[in-house]
Amino acid sequence: MRSVVVGGIGLVALASALVGCGGPAGAVGEAVRPKAATGHEAMGEANIAACAKAVAGEPLVVDLKSNERSDLEVAIKDGVAVVSFDCKNLKILKGCSAPGSYRFAGVTRKEDVVRMTNADELAANLPLTGAQLAGEMKRGSTLDLALVTVGKKRTTASEITRPELTGGGTCDSATHVVRGVYVGAFALATGTEGEVKAVAQIFGAGTSAQSSSAKKTEARDGDLEACRKSSPDASEPPAQCAAVTRLELVPIVAAKKTAEESKQQEAQADTPACPSGFTWGGTKCVSGKAAQKACDRETGTPEECAAACNAGNAESCFNLAVYASEPARTITEPGGKTRTTRFASPNPDLAMLEKACALGHGVSCSRAANTYVSKAYAPKATDAERAKAGESATKLHTAGCNLGEPHSCVALAEAFDPSSAERPGTTKSADKHLAFTRRACDLGLGYACGRLGDMHRDGKGGAKEDSKLAIEAYERQCSSGGFSDGDGCYKIGAIYANGKGLPADKDKALTHLERACNLHSMFACMAGRELALESKDTTRARSFLERGCTKDVRGWDTCLALGEAYEKGQLGLQKDFAKAAESYELGCAKGACKRAGDLYKSGGQGLSPSPDKALHAYTQGCNFFGDSQACVGVEAVLKTKSKPELVEFYTLRCESRGDARACVKLKAAGGTPKDETVKRYAEYAQTQCQKLHYGDECKLWKDLGGSPTAKELAQPTREAEEKKRADEAKKAAGTKAKK
């Protein structure tokens, strides 16, 4: 029968047991009234800040009081739970939530025994009550925790800022978002060093009421046998195996990561953080020379990693395979701060990865599978070798997916996708393609939810066409909160704007387009502007452009449109050439920098002429966006400013930018282009002249020293010929449409 830890019963009973039996009279009475030790006392002041940072990992919550556990369960049902956590207390903030929702995904059942042998380990791993327990811990005693994990309830939330929280004042003390919860069962028992217990013993299974194991089981939630009937494919946990054992917390962030920063983070495998002086040991934070201590990714030697791996530590096997033999490197983080790290080996040890996978390390399964995929496509591999490698990749990705590694699920979805190229050793299946995409989404991978949304929107990939299901999937992607996830919000807005499968709703469309625009989706910012203009809401239209054209965003189309609005006095704005030029220069692409240069050159409407600013804008457009008209602007400014700079500009264009005409101008300005450069351009121009019959290329060939005939020089230019072909194609299309 399921028994639940109520109030402080678990703490009181454990404190009593930790003192030990047979003590002097009154010892038990003192134990049930433990001193109110704090996390500061148990861990030391220096470790508190480190611990607060560390809880961006996976703290145990088996010692939650019953009312706190109830609050957590309600919060998970109502939205994305938000907590206040400082290493001493965890408080579920009722009424405060983040956008999104949770989905359950089963995983390969995992049974672990977490043994805490000293005060530091108790405080680090049970931050709610560990400090109090540590104060009563008898020398030689242990606290053993049996953990059974059968699944995860996960949201996609990964980067949530304080303004995104809902709940007003109830969110004032918020520090973290609950990204996921581990689901299963647990049992707490006291023990002694040297006594090894299995999970079943701690749960009290198969023992009599009078046995030593049964007597020492102090608190339990869930039924071991019910958990052992679980399946990774299950859509919900067994009825008696649904206890929350761990939380996956992510800190509320001050600012979201850029696309490059997100990519760097994804390159790192997930390893829960621990307080200073502790290392993640696979199931708990450990210190000192504990046998199960994982070797450190950044500093561990191959020998240290091998020893820990041989002792059964999966994380160490992974680090041995991927990091231990790599040199330390110094990198500069955003803001200029430097740190030393190791990059992943381009050729990881496959055998070690497979060993780590067998020990339950999902990321290792994924890395090993990807190595086999590379083998399957090796140029010299035989068909038999390709098939064998493909089968191994599928097997390992399946193991990783079952362990809750969403990237393996995505890899399987891609392998089974009927519309993709054949993969050796894999038979295409629309049903499996859909199932693995959905599982990756359920496991909290935002872009997988985006793919699932596309499948339901278009009725492809084995999914039925259903706009409601598409919106549901896109919402999970959108709720991730990262800049790369704005695409999900944008696609919801597009469905409502176009009325695809649902009645068109401009208000809902604009709401979701604003969410997407806030996540730097430039398509959404432009679509929002157009939709707002249809409603004659110029203020809202301008707001979309302003959010899409900042020093951090620099959207090409949004900055071009905002610059035009300032230049022409549109969208309720007064003409302001200074702001127009600034907006153009922020975007720069699609001729925007040329337009900025023109404004700086001529001045007007609040902008004083500035040849230097004009030159800078023209140069940006010319060098970085290949805008030929901006290059003309650079040339015009330099002709009146400095001949040496003009020669330098022509030299750069001639030798490094593929501009043959700049070589001609360089020579005319007194410079000397390289003979081999001129020869290469001349040969190309001759081909364009004599084979494609472009008159302007014939003239260029002549300027480069060639000898075209008068007839060749009289041929139409490339631009004229391309316009002629376009007009003919348009005319033919019109004739076909009439028929």
- Residue-level pLDDT at 142: 84
Q: SS3 sequence, 139-189?
A: CCEEEEEEEEEEEEEECCCCCCEHHHCECHHHHCCCCEEEEEEEEEEEEEE
Tell me how far the alpha carbon of residue 149 is from its chain's centroid: 25
DSSP structural state of residue 60:
B
- Residue-level pLDDT at 67: 84
Give the rounded percent of residues in the chain with a pLDDT score beyond 70: 83
Lowest-confidence segment of 46-50, 237-241, 534-538, 592-596 by average pLDDT: 46-50
Contact, 364 vs 353, CB < 8 A? yes
Lowest-confidence segment of 38-47, 352-361, 494-503, 627-636 by average pLDDT: 38-47
- Residue-level pLDDT at 434: 98
pLDDT value at 468 more than 60: yes
**Among candidate residues 533, 550, 410, the one with its CA nearest the CA of residue 483:** 550
Contact, 673 vs 647, CB < 8 A? no
Distance in angstroms (rounded) separating the CA atoms of residues 241 and 225: 9
Q: Cα dihedral sign for 578, 580, 584, 587?
A: positive
pLDDT value at 307 more than 90: yes
185-207 b/e with 16+ CB inside 10 Å = b? bbbbbbbeeeeebebbbbbbbee
Distance in angstroms (rounded) separating the CA atoms of residues 696 and 575: 40
pLDDT per position as a tens digit, 108-155: 999 988 888 877 777 777 766 766 666 666 777 888 889 999 999 999
pLDDT value at 40 more than 60: no
Residues 6+ apart with CB under 8 A from 182: 58, 149, 151, 152, 244, 245, 246, 247, 248
238 token code pair: 């067994």
What values do phi and psi take at 501, rounded to 5?
A: 75, -5
What values do phi and psi take at 7, rounded to 5?
A: 50, -130
Contact, 521 vs 534, CB < 8 A? no
pLDDT per position as a tens digit, 370-405: 999 999 999 999 999 999 999 999 999 999 999 999
Q: SS3 sequence, 456-478?
A: HHHCCCCCCCCHHHHHHHHHHHH
Helix or strand (DSSP H, E) at 16: helix 9-19
Distance in angstroms (rounded) separating the CA atoms of residues 141 and 115: 10
Regarding pTM above 0.85, the answer is: no
pLDDT per position as a tens digit, 71-84: 888 899 888 999 99
pLDDT per position as a tens digit, 263-301: 555 444 455 555 555 565 666 666 554 445 678 888 889
pLDDT value at 211 more than 60: no
pLDDT value at 328 more than 50: yes
